[in-house]
Amino acid sequence: MRQQKIVRILGDAPVPRTISGALTGIAPFLAFFLCCHAYGGIGIIVWIYTMPPAGLLVAAILAVLMTHHSRARTAAPASMRKPVSLHS
């Protein structure tokens, strides 16, 4: 949600930069800690090997959300659609 394009497409209120920045910085370390705590020394390997699937999962979720949002937007009457500005 730190990417402004995604926020504009989904039409959600943007998350304050301080909060999203903190989450972006803390999340990998939290995942590392949880993997090491749950799996011990193998946790480092588990943490490294879960990065690609996590990235693919996030990409798939965003694709589904964007598709759902665009379908809902085209299904709405023209008077209810929000104007899209390319310069925002």
Instruction: Quick: pLDDT tens for 23-39.
Output: 778 888 888 898 888 88
Residue 13's pLDDT band (cuts 50, 70, 90):
low
Query: Is residue 2 a contact partner of residue 24, using CB atoms and an 8 Å limit?
Result: yes
Q: At what angle do helices 43-75 and 17-39 cross, to 10 degrees?
A: 140
pTM of structure: 0.47
For range 62-68, the mean pLDDT: 81
For range 43-53, the mean pLDDT: 84
Q: What is the mean pLDDT of the chain?
A: 75
CA pair distance 1, 51, nearest whole angstrom: 18
